[in-house]
Amino acid sequence: MHCRCCKDRAILAKKPEKTNKDYMAKEVTPRAENYSQWYNDLIVKAELAEQSAVRGCMVIKPYGYAIWEKMQRILDDKFKATGVQNAYFPLFIPKSFFSREAEHVSGFAKECAVVTHHRLMNSPDGKGVVVDPEAKLEEELIVRPTSETIIWSTYKNWINSWRDLPIMCNQWCNVVRWEMRTRLFLRTAEFLWQEGHTAHATAEEAIQEAQTMVQVYADFARNTMALPVIVGHKSPGERFAGALDTLTIEAMMQDGKALQAGTSHFLGQNFAKSFDVQYADREGKLQYVWATSWGVSTRLMGALIMAHGDDNGLVLPPALAPIQVVMVPIFKTEEEHQAILDRMYAIKKELEALGHSVKVDDRDTLRPGFKFAEWELKGVPVRLAMGPRDMEAGTVEVHRRDTLEKQSMSVDGLAAHIHALMDDIQANIYNKALSFREANIEKCDDWEEFKAKIQTGKFLLCHWDGTVETEQKIKDETKATIRCIPVDSVVCEEEGRDIYSGKPSHARVVFAIAY
């Protein structure tokens, strides 16, 4: 569609301007060329995060952190609506706590940050500081990789009778897992997350809580992140260390790989037994307490980037965009600039009254084309551009980040239009991701076909005999894992034969190669 704004931009034609494409080509590696590099480019160029001076630890930059803050706020409200309260537990866990729950120690305690000393001293050679050997801790402390152990050692003191239950606490905090190979947001030595830990009188209540929370996550993924997810149970081999059941939300990235975006665990009485947490029931009989835990992390940032981004940069769903509308003035003279800015600030006020976050890009040292590319890179859902001809005609150019379409519109009724457009964009981003997943998920009943297709980036719905052995063999041969035994979104219960062993199976599960 031809619009006035393009003519306005011709004003600047004297100095040849780089097009968006030139700019972007230089900045962001196309997905088709190198998906992994594309992902990294987006994070760094859009100023979401960067590597720090500390191996495997990232710096989350203001623009990235603003997205994370939006995620936090929305999730936090959802948690609280179910009766969860926030609390804070210590960063450090005594080493001996990890020996209490046998599976948990093998799952978590191995690769972790260990604090052994509590003091530095001036180096005897006068150069810098060294660890003071006199200041060795009696018992080493582990920087929490997850907090079940420290929290259940605390709950022991909070729980005496059935009247004290349920306890439903969540904490927003940092955790550390000494990962050998790290990637920004997806796998970092330190990451930010929330971990909910609940204590219940009965198994039924705890199972219900684990289900409630995975649905909170699914709802958040779908409606806020515009991310279609499959909810399901993990196979025993993929469960959280110490859980009787792990529920997960699994998303498909644009390379067809799976990303586990959140998990909710039914922990049975394992931690209650390890930390001797019992309550007196209504008959006065002592019973072990039933537990859940559930968490999502800054990994969600990785999912958001990889699910929706394109070769121009991020594509942010309006519900999470720190800036929902950016306005770029196109001008030749300072008088024009000022007149356009005045009109833009008036529009900004209207949009803000409707609850939108708006930025007027009034920087006078940068050209419009540069600004266009920058805000596309940063994924701002809607861009408004206005030049002298627009001023005369009472129009504005409206550009959608998700479709890259632009349209000239009257300034009259603009705010209401943009308001409605946000919902359209949110829905469109979701539907696009959903269509992509639907095009890349299929039933598969032939092992040779499985081996070929799984490498091309597919979710394959296959029969599985339910054994750890088969699961492991498939993983060894193809790197594919069972992402989940789905409870929604895709077909599940159906009689058939295991794709690998040929043994009888009652349901299909989702196989994919995962991040």
What is the binding site for a copy of itself (CB under 8 A)? 50, 52-54, 57-62, 65-66, 68-69, 85-99, 105, 109-121, 127-129, 131, 140-143, 150, 153-154, 157, 163, 169, 173-174, 176, 178, 190, 192, 365
Can you tell me whether residue 390 is helix, strand or coil? Answer: helix
Instruction: Check: CB of residue 271 under 8 Å from CB of residue 242.
Output: yes
Q: Which is nearer to a copy of itself, 157 or 493 (CB)?
A: 157
To a copy of itself, the closest distance from the beta carbon of 508 in angstroms equals: 38
Please give the Cα distance from 151 to 155 (Å, whole number).
Answer: 6
The rounded radius of gyration (Å) of the Cα atoms in the chain is: 27
Distance, first Cα to last Cα, the chain: 40
Q: Which is nearer to a copy of itself, 69 or 449 (CB)?
A: 69
Helical pair 447-454 and 468-478, crossing angle rounded to 10 deg: 50
- Token match 């720190």: residue? 322
To a copy of itself, the closest distance from the beta carbon of 171 in angstroms equals: 8
Q: Which is nearer to a copy of itself, 101 or 310 (CB)?
A: 101
To a copy of itself, the closest distance from the beta carbon of 299 in angstroms equals: 14
To a copy of itself, the closest distance from the beta carbon of 85 in angstroms equals: 4
Q: Which is nearer to a copy of itself, 95 or 401 (CB)?
A: 95
Instruction: Check: CB of residue 50 under 8 Å from CB of residue 185.
Output: no
Instruction: Check: CB of residue 401 under 8 Å from CB of residue 374.
Output: no
Q: Which is nearer to a copy of itself, 55 or 473 (CB)?
A: 55
Q: How far is CA 383 from the centre of its chain?
A: 25
- Token match 């949009």: residue? 351
Q: Which is nearer to a copy of itself, 169 or 509 (CB)?
A: 169
Q: Which is nearer to a copy of itself, 169 or 328 (CB)?
A: 169
Instruction: Check: CB of residue 15 under 8 Å from CB of residue 397.
Output: no
Name the token pair of 405.
């379409």
Please give the Cα distance from 255 to 333 (Å, whole number).
Answer: 47
Helices of type H across 233-362 = 270-274, 299-308, 334-353
- Token match 């969860």: residue? 84
Q: What is the DSSP letter of 313?
A: B
Four-residue CA torsion sign, 505, 506, 512, 515: negative
Q: Which is nearer to a copy of itself, 10 or 114 (CB)?
A: 114
To a copy of itself, the closest distance from the beta carbon of 116 in angstroms equals: 5
To a copy of itself, the closest distance from the beta carbon of 95 in angstroms equals: 6
Q: Which is nearer to a copy of itself, 158 or 345 (CB)?
A: 158
To a copy of itself, the closest distance from the beta carbon of 6 in angstroms equals: 29
Beta-carbon contacts of residue 384 (< 8 Å; ≥ 6 apart): 325, 326, 327, 328, 344, 347, 396, 397, 398, 399
Please give the Cα distance from 76 to 84 (Å, whole number).
Answer: 9
Q: Which is nearer to a copy of itself, 33 or 111 (CB)?
A: 111
To a copy of itself, the closest distance from the beta carbon of 351 in angstroms equals: 19
To a copy of itself, the closest distance from the beta carbon of 506 in angstroms equals: 38
Name the token pair of 360.
């007027």
To a copy of itself, the closest distance from the beta carbon of 380 in angstroms equals: 16
